[in-house]
Amino acid sequence: MVPRLRRSRAVVTAVRRGWILLAIAVAAPIAGGVDPDAQARSVPTADEPHAPKLAGRSVLWIQRPNRKTAELWTLSPGQQPRRVRVFEEPSGRGLAVELATSPTRTLFTTFNYVQLATEYSDAIANPAWYLGVPGSSLEPFDQCNDQLPSMRSSDVWGDAYVYRRCGEPRERVAVRDESNEPMSPPRDVGVSGIGARIAGRFVAWLETEPDYNAFCCSPVPDIVVYDRVNDVEVYRLPAAELPGLIRGLDLQDDGKVAFSYVIHRSNDVAGEGLGWASPSEPYFHRLPVPDGNLNDFRLIDDQVAYQGGLETYFFWVKSAKIGLIDLQGNGGLLARRTDARMFSESVDFDGERVVWRELGCEKYRLVIVEASRQSVAPGPRRRCPLQVLESPTVRNGKVTLRLSCGPNPDWWCPWHIALYTTGAVSRRIGRGRHDGSPVHLRLSNAGRRLLARKGSLHVRVRARIARYWAPEVRRTTVQLTTRG
């Protein structure tokens, strides 16, 4: 049971009925459609979903079929998931993208690499920005040359948005408001601003060098909070007063900020911590989140939803947990065994719902949960069955199996396979190993004789995926036949 959290003044959403999540991921096939208004649903996706965003009752996300293509997808109540637009980088050098959205506006950023970094030159990317309503194909409205992605530097609040546009002598945080009654005129602020966020009348950013690296090596930045209506800096957290390199930033519509920072122990990175500050208390406050890699977080109505885990492999965070904590440090766990990558957004929270990504046995999925019950999402199955794509074939004592690696590419699954007889006494009659699919196994002499005598043999398959960072065992049974 998750402890009930202290109620705070509603800022964004209406009456809260408890800050605890029921998360029972009920699988729903794409063909039947999914209703995001239900208390808990999971949405299977064809490719790994990135940057899921809650936009009113709709959900938007990005899929990456390959490194030079990005697809924008949406799911609205009572409809099927729908691909909104495809963005491509024709040179094949790579494409980076960002997504920010509100119930009324979507801001999409592409970084088209025109030159990758080499020993003798720096990388060059040309960013372009697209704007529209959620679910629309979006229209380009600005672009520039030679700006590399850093932290996500665009954000949307209602009809107002911020992005990191090019300028002279350096990039600036651009503030735009397209509502019928503008709260502020368009203006450029925040020289060299990184990680810009907007909420209500406030804008926040990290003020630092243009090529800020949130992974390592850059100096600690200042955190700036600015009032876009009165055109005044509200407060600043100087670098000297921050506990470490800043890796994430979020903003609430009363000017409070939450931020993640690097924790060092024994001259090594031990993970990230979480802190906050406010206009009335403009200094660092630590939040007691578990040690580990803090992947993603959102600040809404004095509550922070965060995602993190202890183990990472090539920036993949294994079995990441999602929790909710208020600014007094009270909170609980929301979900287990979610999927995450460091420096990549994979969770969103709007005060009423939470969406995150899970790695299912056969597909990735987005889990969308209403914040209304006291239960913890268990996550996907701990053990996946082995999926055989075609009936096995037997030729000259060799068995060929075509296996599914689930939502991952074949190279993700280095198989170690063994075949066993069924019955009271089980004997191993074959084994083999291969990276990807198909897998070829050699039957033992006893296995050949047994199959030749019976003509058909029911066998158990034990498949070990020998990833050194996440080994896994899957099992099934198949029928071998000399006629196969």
User: How far apart are alpha carbons 442 and 430 in whole angstroms?
Assistant: 6
Domain boundary among 370, 402, 436: 370
- Whether the per-residue pLDDT at 253 is higher than 50: the answer is yes
Domain boundary among 339, 370, 401: 370
- Output the pLDDT for position 256: 98
User: How far apart are alpha carbons 455 and 178 in whole angstroms?
Assistant: 74
More confident residue, 31 or 259: 259
Do 165 and 276 lie in a common domain?
yes
Q: What is the pLDDT of residues 188-224, one digit of tens each?
A: 887 778 899 999 999 999 998 777 877 777 889 999 9
Residue 311 pLDDT level (bands cut at 50, 70, 90): low
36 located within any domain: yes
Which whole number is the average pLDDT over 292-308? 87
- Whether the per-residue pLDDT at 275 is higher than 50: the answer is yes
Domain that holds residue 101: 30-370
More confident residue, 349 or 381: 349
Residue 178 pLDDT level (bands cut at 50, 70, 90): confident
Do 205 and 60 lie in a common domain?
yes
Q: In angstroms, how far is the first alpha carbon of the chain from the final one? A: 53
Three-point CA angle 77, 82, 86, nearest 5°: 145
Sequence-distant (6+) residues with CB within 8 A of 379 are 25, 319, 335, 336, 337, 338, 358
Structure tokens given for 321? 């947990």
| DSSP state string for 93-113 | S-EEEEEEE-SS-EEEEEEEE
9 located within any domain: no
Do 195 and 275 lie in a common domain?
yes
Q: What is the pLDDT of residues 405-431, one digit of tens each?
A: 888 877 888 999 999 999 888 899 999
Which whole number is the average pLDDT over 221-229? 94
Do 448 and 364 lie in a common domain?
no
User: How far apart are alpha carbons 220 and 244 in whole angstroms?
Assistant: 6
14 located within any domain: no
Whole-Å CA distances, 303 to 57, 251, 300 = 20, 11, 5
User: How far apart are alpha carbons 115 and 91 in whole angstroms?
Assistant: 10
Q: How many percent of the chain have pLDDT more than 70?
A: 87
User: How far apart are alpha carbons 438 and 465 in whole angstroms?
Assistant: 14
- Output the pLDDT for position 19: 30
- The domain that holds 210 is classified in CATH as 2.130.10.150
Q: What is the pLDDT of residues 108-132, one digit of tens each?
A: 999 988 888 777 777 888 899 999 9
Do 468 and 348 lie in a common domain?
no
Sign of CA dihedral 250, 255, 258, 261: positive
119 located within any domain: yes
Do 427 and 473 lie in a common domain?
yes
Torsion of CA 31, 47, 334, 32, to 10 degrees: 0
Residues comprising the chain, all counted? 484
Q: 403 and 83 in contact (C-beta within 8 Å)?
A: no
Do 399 and 363 lie in a common domain?
no
Q: How many percent of the chain have pLDDT more than 90?
A: 46
Q: 372 and 392 in contact (C-beta within 8 Å)?
A: no
Do 152 and 253 lie in a common domain?
yes
Backbone phi, psi, residue 130, to 5°? -125, 140
Domain boundary among 338, 370, 402: 370
Residue 318 pLDDT level (bands cut at 50, 70, 90): confident
- Output the pLDDT for position 267: 62
Do 254 and 292 lie in a common domain?
yes
Q: Find, among 431, 382, 389, the residue nearest to 406 by Cα.
A: 389
383 located within any domain: no
Which whole number is the average pLDDT over 220-246? 94
- The domain that holds 476 is classified in CATH as 2.60.40
Do 348 and 403 lie in a common domain?
no
377 located within any domain: no
- Output the pLDDT for position 313: 67
Do 358 and 413 lie in a common domain?
no
Do 155 and 284 lie in a common domain?
yes
- Whether the per-residue pLDDT at 18 is higher than 50: the answer is no
Which residue's entry shows tokens 């119930």? Answer: 103
7 located within any domain: no
Which whole number is the average pLDDT over 29-40? 43
User: How far apart are alpha carbons 352 and 47 in whole angstroms?
Assistant: 27
Counting the structural domains of the chain, the total is 2
- The chain-wide mean pLDDT, for the chain, equals 84
19 located within any domain: no
